[in-house]
Structure 1
Amino acid sequence: MDLGDLLRQAQRLTNDTKMDEEMPPFDRTISQVLAVTQELHSRVTLTGTHDLQAHMLLGSKGVDMPKLTHKLESLSSRKTFQPLDPVSDTDVRDFLRNERENAILSVIDETNRSIFESVKRQKWRRIYAEWGEEKESLLNALVGPKQDEFPDVQRQSVSTTLPENPTPRSLLNRTEQLYAEEVAAYNHLKIQQGHHRNLLAACACLAKECLDNPLVAEMWSVLEFMTDNAPATRTVDPIKSRQSLTQQARTYLERRYRQYMKTVINENRILAKLGGIPSVYNMVNSFVGINFVQPATLVGLEDVDNDRPLWALVYYSLRCGDLSAASKYLQESGVCSDLFRLLAMMKDGTKGEQYARLEGVLKLEYNRKIRSCSDPYKKAVYAYVLACDPQNSHPELMRSIDDFLWMQLSILREDNEREYNIEQLTYSGLQSLILEKYGENYFNAREKAPLYFSVLILTGQFESAIEFLARTEANLPHAVHMAIALNEIHMLSTPSSMHQPLLSVNPEDPTPMKRLNLVRMLVTYAKRFDLTNTKEALHYYFLLRHFKDDNGSSLMLSCVSDLLVENCDQKIIELIFGSETDKSAQSGIFAQFQTIDIDKYMLAGMVGDKLAHRSNFEAAIKLYFIGGQLDKVMRLVCTLLSQVAHQPPKESSLRNRLCSIIDRLDEQRSVMRVDVEPHVLATYTMLTQVLIFFDHYHNKDTQLATEVLAKYRITPNNCSEVDECVANLKRLGPEVNKVLPDIMLADMDLVYQEYLRLKGGSAPSRSSFGSRYSTQTDDWKDVHKEGSLRHLRTKAKALTNMAATVPFRMPTATNKRLVELEILMH
């Protein structure tokens, strides 16, 4: 084929493949074409084929394919197949056990940590002490023969050794020590001489003369003044009689203002022009002349005569508490005759129909004219006389909190005198105003504690005042002794339960009165130094003798007994009760607090009961000896003997100490009658003999040991005595049963040792195994050997029978050993 033919053929093929529409100008590589081909192939052969086959299969069965597809799409496979958390049953027992074990482990871990830190501190303290000693020795070594050439360096050696009998340092500061001495003197007079001393007056004098703090002295002064009219008996509820202190508070404020007037007049003698007979009338006249020397001060005032405003003279006379002076000024002026007559009736204490009529007329006048007048002194005088308009605080005249309190106390009305158609101030309303509405923030109590305290005292809120004062460490001693002094004169309200918080509310008390838990405050205060200053602490506890604990016992005894229980060592026992060698009733510091209801024997018994309850039996026995309760000593000795009677004697062991206690008990029983139950006495006698038996047993004294058992029929010699020995056990206490397994093992051991001696050909020892069956003990060597062995086997059999017969379960090891030894003898 030539070139022309090829050209024509190519043209023909081109014409055959040419289309009417042009292809898009898109060029692909071979790899792109392959990828697209594979994708198309996978769609057609897999997805398309499967979906098509599924549609054909389900469609042939009559399934609505579009509806089925819609349902499948709405399903949430995540929600349907989400795994569920397993819910386990609550195991309370295991939970509590784990909590208990965790608590125990945490305590152990904390204890270990504290011990490690304490040891570490002691180690470094010792290292520093050694370094100091080494440094001192090196410095001393530097000083040669010519000591003058060595610079004069002052060296101070510090002793690192403690004295043999160190005395604890007092935890009381000077103020607390002075207060404690006053309390001790007060208690001494009350116990020894029987008459009461005014503790509050004594503490107020102490604060004034010995404490270098005028603010503290002022607090004691206001408290002493407010309690001058204290009730004479404890039967009067302090809260119910608290409103009677209103006049006392007003008198205190009026006296202070008179003193203030005198000070101002003395500082301005030229302006005062004070003369004539000393009286409130002249003093007020001079004081008003000083205050109103400038004409501008008289603007707005009414009834001014000779530069002296009338109503200022009347007001300041009332402010000083002198109604006579106020009446005299009104009489001289000739104005307001009704007010003059009402003041005269108030001065004379006359109240009746005429008084009520005049009061009503003046109230109408006050509401119509006086309330809106420009003279503040006139409004204050009418408010004072009529006890009305508590909403008007008279700000122009209130220059201090004393002025405010005086005015509020002056317009008070008792509940039985209230007129319910008009607004009037009551005592409870004033107390709520001071304590709740104004409160600590208004008075800046944190910075001005004495001021806030005085305000609460003047409004009769003693308990709230003392609780506020006790919040700071510096004022705590003053607060505690104020509470003590008030309680001693029956003017402190306390809750019925000692478990109440420090400040509590009784629903029966008027609002906002509180009750102060003196027991909690005093005990907390005294516990800080009851170990270092035990005598002083006992004086404070003595003040609680009239309070009762939950068991009806004196709270003083409870507090002292708690002190002894927590720190029951020989030193503090001798301090409180005296030495054991001193048999007098006045030994020990507690003897000075003995009264008809309280003595050291009662205290010793109470402490012994608490120690016995805590299983501190040895310490309890010491206290029972002091209290003379030998029956309780006998019971505790039985309990301890059942634990240690079988042990071998060792020096300083509990067993040896019990022997000394038994000797002392037997000695006192010989001179003192002891009322004790028969079974306790029988148990005590049996256990003391068991103690003697084990003494012989451990000393290898077989004859004396077996004689003790035979004499008191503790164990049987043959099978016929088993029932008798078991019956004896039933008449004794359970303490004997605890030591019985050890007795039987020791007895079986004695029998077996005797059996081995006879079996080995040795002559039988002199014992009492057959003492109850043969009186001819001296002929024991002549008894046939086989008969002796038979007798020992019989006794061993009786012991095993008794172990199976006793009315309690013997330890498995004991039964096993008894049977084993019995078998070895056959």
Structure 2
Amino acid sequence: MDLAELLQRAQRLANDTEMETDLPRVERTLSQVLQATNELHARVTQAGTNDLQAHILLGSKGVDLPKLTQKLESLTASNSLEPLDPIEDTDVRGYLKNERENAILAVIDEANTNITTTVERQKWRSVYSEWGNMKESLLNALVGPSQQDFPDMQRQKVATELPDEPTPFSRLSYFETLYAKEITSYNESHIQGGHRTNLVATFANLAKSFDDPLVTEMWNVLYCMANETPMSRNIDPIQSRQSAPKFIQKARTYLERRYKIYMNAVTEKNLVLAKRGGIPSLYNLVCSYVGVEFQHSHSLTGLLNVDNNGKPLWPHVYYSLRCGDQAAAVQFLKESGTCPELLKLMMLKRLGDTSTSEISSTAKLEGQLKLDYNNKLRICSDPYKKAVYAIVLACDPHDGHGELIRTIDDFLWMQLSILREQENRDYNIEQLTYGGLQSLILEKYGENYFNAREKGPLYFQVLILTGQFESAIEFLARSNIMHAVHMAIALNEICLLGTPKSVMQPLLSAEPDDPAPMKRLNLVRLVVMYAKGFEKTDTAQALQYYYLLRHFKTEDRGPNAMLTCVCDLLVENCDDNMLALIFGDEDEANSNRFTGGIFAEFQTMDYDMYSLAGMVGDELSDRSNYESAIKLYYIAGHLNKALRLVCSLLSQVVHQPSRPGSMRERLTHVIQRLDASLVERKTDVQSHVMITYTTLARLMEFFDLVHAGKTRLASEILTNNRLVPSNSTEVDECVTNLKRMGPEINKVLPDVIMEAMNIVYAEYLEQRGGGGPDSGNVVDDTQNENREAVLHHLRGRAKALTNMAASVPYRMPAAINQRLVQLEILML
């Protein structure tokens, strides 16, 4: 392409871009365009990007920037409050102006000062007042409330003189006492073999006297769900409850009965609109209630089926089902003449025909209606019609039916109405099972959704109505254990409470084979938690509660949980008063029998008070409380165990002098009681135990005589019982006798040998100092020979004692050996 052709194409292009306008045409060269661009760039850069953006923003909003700039430049700061310039004395106008402005400034300054002072004064007055109120409240809290604060309260006067035998106050409240009386009456009826009442019904009637509607309602819900004939204890309550549809029907019946009461209340408040009349029936009640609910014509908007009288069809059907009257719902459908398939299905379900042909026709009809529901009714604008179909077909559990569900009762009834049993589920459509509803309430929603802290009774009722008795009672026990423990007891007595296999489980647990989300409640732990609060002051009532645990087996302690609980009670409070209360007093005619104890009324063929005493004695012995264990073994008749412990204790204190209140003095009374029992039951004790006990009893007499200074009688006790040798030939015989006795004799043997040596040495000094050449008495040769024979005999006894100390299979203390040798040397 040459330059001429290029020029022609450029001119043609320029002609095409020319526009007819009045503005003059500007022709610039490339250098001029470059210069203009540089100048524009310099102005933009100098003004700044922020100013440029501000101008663009204000210009886009219609602000005239040049005029705005002029107005801003014309504004000046007011100098009215600035310091005044000095003026000349002859300037009258300026002087008056200054005085006027000074007066204004003075007024403003004075007002500002007054306001500041007033605010400061009020602030400190408020602070001092608040401090004073706080100090007054603190002082009142320290000194206690005055009688004027509680004018209706009478102060209780405390007696200054206490009775000779004060009894502890009962820890049971008024309501707890009422519960305890019912438990006592129930146990007495069982022990006597009479007819046992239903504790759930008994406690439900008792709750009416509590004057607490929430407690009464909780018991009514439990009674409605647990009004059953007691089952066998061999049947698992959890498995039977999950497989029995009667619990679902009971929950629906309870909710329908409550809604029926609500409908009556609404119609009675609006009798004019309800237009009640005719024979009292649910059919007429539903008509009246719907008339009140749809009193305005605009309320019918969205309802598809309305009869000739202007009454909506599907609300009548829905509320008939809501209050549990399927007959009324069928009648409304018959009168309308619509939906014959649904009417037929409802009549078949109402009749409940179980023949094979009817079941197959029902299933076929139900499947057809489900297809119609999925294709058409899911988008239906009538919420009542959609709800009726969902209830009859038991489908579409995810539809919340928000237009109809207003309360928790409505929600729960709707969910219970669309339940299907696990084995009868239709896998072509999503359906809700009993376990799924329980998981929905307990796990998905939980306590936070139901605001259980503030609305505990409501959450408790929801759990009960969904068959989760154990979780409901555990939740209630956190805030009110009194009602919770009696609900658990009542359910357990009719075999409806799921309990764990081990009593050592936590309060709420789950077994591996249990269906989710079912839990098991540890009734033993719950009853013990409750009874521990009053078992010391109201022991008889505590034993009534423990008697209810006789069917629970323990792994390692006792045959059942009842004996274990009573055993723990006695171990912690094993004084004479408690033992007399539980076991009674010893029979004067028969020392081996106790009468009058409260435990005697609970004994059966499996256990009695004597087996309980032996069990407590073993526990006390394991805890090294031997004195109390001896008392329990004596009551139980376990003389062999009692003598073993007596021997162990005697070996520690038999050589000590007797002091008032000491263990040695207490053991003296124990030995007297045991000696009286051994007269009749000596054969129940092992031979070596009997020998050890007899020897220690004789040694106690020996040391009593020694401490009383009667050494001759004490020496006779040792000689008669062949405990220490009289000469060297008897050493082996005495050592052999020691081997037949228990180790307790070896513990006290050093003190016995030492006292025997002291007796011998005292006799030696007496014989040696009895006469001599300087005594002034004439002593013949015969007397001297007799005295020498006695001294020789005493030296032989001392030698035999030293030899025995070296021969016994027991390491004698070094101090004892040293003293024995020293005394023997002094007698040479």
TM-score with structure 2 length normalisation? 0.76
Write out aligned runs for 1:11-30 (5 A). none
* Equivalent of residue 587 in structure 1, options 570, 590, 596: 596
**Deviation of 1:709 (Å):** 1.5
- Gap change, CA 1:430 and 1:670, over 3 Å in 2: same
Write out aligned runs for 1:125-144 (5 A). none
**Deviation of 1:512 (Å):** 1.3
- Gap change, CA 1:500 and 1:157, over 3 Å in 2: closer
* Equivalent of residue 570 in structure 1, options 553, 559, 576: 576
Could you tell me which residue of structure 1 aligns to residue 606 of structure 2?
597
Could you tell me which residue of structure 2 aligns to residue 816 of structure 1?
818
Could you tell me which residue of structure 2 aligns to residue 354 of structure 1?
361
1:344 paired to 2:343: no
Within 1, Cα distance between the matches of 2:682 and 2:751?
A: 33
SS in structure 2 opposite 1:540? helix
* Equivalent of residue 725 in structure 1, options 708, 711, 734: 734
* AA partner of residue 647 (structure 1): Q
* Equivalent of residue 442 in structure 1, options 421, 445, 449: 449
**Deviation of 1:163 (Å):** 3.8
* AA partner of residue 468 (structure 2): Q
CA displacement 1:209-257 (0-9 Å, x = unmatched): x201011000000001100125421111111122321111111111111
**Deviation of 1:159 (Å):** 5.1
Within 2, Cα distance between the matches of 1:548 and 1:157?
A: 49
Could you tell me which residue of structure 1 aligns to residue 525 of structure 2?
520
SS in structure 2 opposite 1:739? helix
* AA partner of residue 580 (structure 2): E
SS in structure 2 opposite 1:553? coil
| Alignment check: 8 A CA contact 1:631 1:674 kept | no
Write out aligned runs for 1:782-821 (5 A). 784-821=786-823
Could you tell me which residue of structure 2 aligns to residue 212 of structure 1?
211
1:555 paired to 2:558: no
| Alignment check: 8 A CA contact 2:474 2:521 kept | yes
Structure 2 gaps of 5+ residues are 1-142, 144-153, 773-781
Within 2, Cα distance between the matches of 1:691 and 1:755?
A: 25
SS in structure 2 opposite 1:507? coil
Write out aligned runs for 1:771-790 (5 A). 784-790=786-792
**Deviation of 1:682 (Å):** 1.2
Could you tell me which residue of structure 1 aligns to residue 182 of structure 2?
182
* Equivalent of residue 383 in structure 1, options 387, 390, 397: 390
- Gap change, CA 1:703 and 1:544, over 3 Å in 2: same
**Deviation of 1:673 (Å):** 5.4
| Alignment check: 8 A CA contact 1:281 1:317 kept | yes
- Gap change, CA 1:500 and 1:762, over 3 Å in 2: farther
Structure 1 gaps of 5+ residues are 1-127, 129-153, 764-779
Write out aligned runs for 1:621-636 (5 A). 621-636=630-645
| Alignment check: 8 A CA contact 1:255 1:320 kept | yes
Could you tell me which residue of structure 2 aligns to residue 495 of structure 1?
500
* AA partner of residue 351 (structure 2): D
| Alignment check: 8 A CA contact 2:731 2:804 kept | yes
SS in structure 2 opposite 1:435? helix
Query: Which segment is superposed worse, 603-612 or 455-464?
Result: 603-612
**Deviation of 1:381 (Å):** 0.9
Within 2, Cα distance between the matches of 1:806 and 1:471?
A: 66
Could you tell me which residue of structure 2 aligns to residue 777 of structure 1?
none
| Alignment check: 8 A CA contact 2:702 2:714 kept | yes
Could you tell me which residue of structure 1 aligns to residue 111 of structure 2?
none
Within 1, Cα distance between the matches of 2:311 and 2:156?
A: 76
CA displacement 1:247-276 (0-9 Å, x = unmatched): 111111111111222222222223222333
Within 1, Cα distance between the matches of 2:714 and 2:665?
A: 19
Within 1, Cα distance between the matches of 2:742 and 2:681?
A: 24
1:331 paired to 2:334: yes
Write out aligned runs for 1:207-606 (5 A). 207-208=207-208, 210-243=209-242, 244=244, 245-305=247-307, 306-351=309-354, 352-472=359-479, 475-551=480-556, 552-580=558-586, 586-606=595-615
Could you tell me which residue of structure 2 aligns to residue 50 of structure 1?
none
* AA partner of residue 168 (structure 1): P
CA RMSD of aligned residues (A): 2.2
Query: Which segment is superposed worse, 475-484 or 384-393?
Result: 475-484
| Alignment check: 8 A CA contact 2:583 2:594 kept | no
- Gap change, CA 1:728 and 1:346, over 3 Å in 2: same
**Deviation of 1:794 (Å):** 1.8
| Alignment check: 8 A CA contact 2:303 2:382 kept | yes
Within 2, Cα distance between the matches of 1:716 and 1:263?
A: 103
Within 1, Cα distance between the matches of 2:386 and 2:746?
A: 93
* AA partner of residue 339 (structure 1): L
Could you tell me which residue of structure 2 aligns to residue 747 of structure 1?
756
Within 2, Cα distance between the matches of 1:572 and 1:155?
A: 34
SS in structure 1 opposite 2:437? helix
Could you tell me which residue of structure 2 aligns to residue 758 of structure 1?
767
Within 1, Cα distance between the matches of 2:341 and 2:361?
A: 11
| Alignment check: 8 A CA contact 1:230 1:490 kept | no
Query: Which segment is superposed worse, 272-281 or 377-386?
Result: 272-281
SS in structure 2 opposite 1:464? helix
| Alignment check: 8 A CA contact 1:292 1:307 kept | no
* AA partner of residue 675 (structure 2): D
**Deviation of 1:585 (Å):** 5.4
TM-score with structure 1 length normalisation? 0.76
- Gap change, CA 1:309 and 1:714, over 3 Å in 2: same
SS in structure 2 opposite 1:241? helix
Within 2, Cα distance between the matches of 1:322 and 1:751?
A: 108
Query: Which segment is superposed worse, 401-410 or 516-525?
Result: 516-525
Number of equivalences: 655
**Deviation of 1:157 (Å):** 8.5
* AA partner of residue 277 (structure 1): I
Within 1, Cα distance between the matches of 2:533 and 2:184?
A: 17
SS in structure 2 opposite 1:579? strand
| Alignment check: 8 A CA contact 1:428 1:511 kept | yes
- Gap change, CA 1:181 and 1:451, over 3 Å in 2: same
| Alignment check: 8 A CA contact 2:587 2:594 kept | no
Within 2, Cα distance between the matches of 1:592 and 1:233?
A: 25
**Deviation of 1:783 (Å):** 6.0
CA displacement 1:721-772 (0-9 Å, x = unmatched): 2221111111111111111111111111111111111222359xxxxxxxxx
| Alignment check: 8 A CA contact 2:303 2:381 kept | yes
Could you tell me which residue of structure 2 aligns to residue 646 of structure 1?
655
Within 1, Cα distance between the matches of 2:555 and 2:268?
A: 61
**Deviation of 1:781 (Å):** 7.3
Write out aligned runs for 1:76-91 (5 A). none
| Alignment check: 8 A CA contact 2:648 2:744 kept | yes
* AA partner of residue 340 (structure 1): L
| Alignment check: 8 A CA contact 1:289 1:307 kept | no
**Deviation of 1:461 (Å):** 0.9
SS in structure 1 opposite 2:585? coil
* AA partner of residue 478 (structure 1): H
Could you tell me which residue of structure 2 aligns to residue 735 of structure 1?
744
Within 2, Cα distance between the matches of 1:585 and 1:704?
A: 39
| Alignment check: 8 A CA contact 1:251 1:321 kept | yes
* AA partner of residue 727 (structure 1): T
- Gap change, CA 1:782 and 1:332, over 3 Å in 2: farther
Within 2, Cα distance between the matches of 1:199 and 1:355?
A: 42
Within 2, Cα distance between the matches of 1:806 and 1:603?
A: 42
| Alignment check: 8 A CA contact 1:231 1:489 kept | yes
| Alignment check: 8 A CA contact 1:293 1:307 kept | no
| Alignment check: 8 A CA contact 1:380 1:394 kept | yes
| Alignment check: 8 A CA contact 2:587 2:595 kept | no
**Deviation of 1:190 (Å):** 1.5
* AA partner of residue 375 (structure 2): R
| Alignment check: 8 A CA contact 2:585 2:594 kept | no
Could you tell me which residue of structure 1 aligns to residue 53 of structure 2?
none
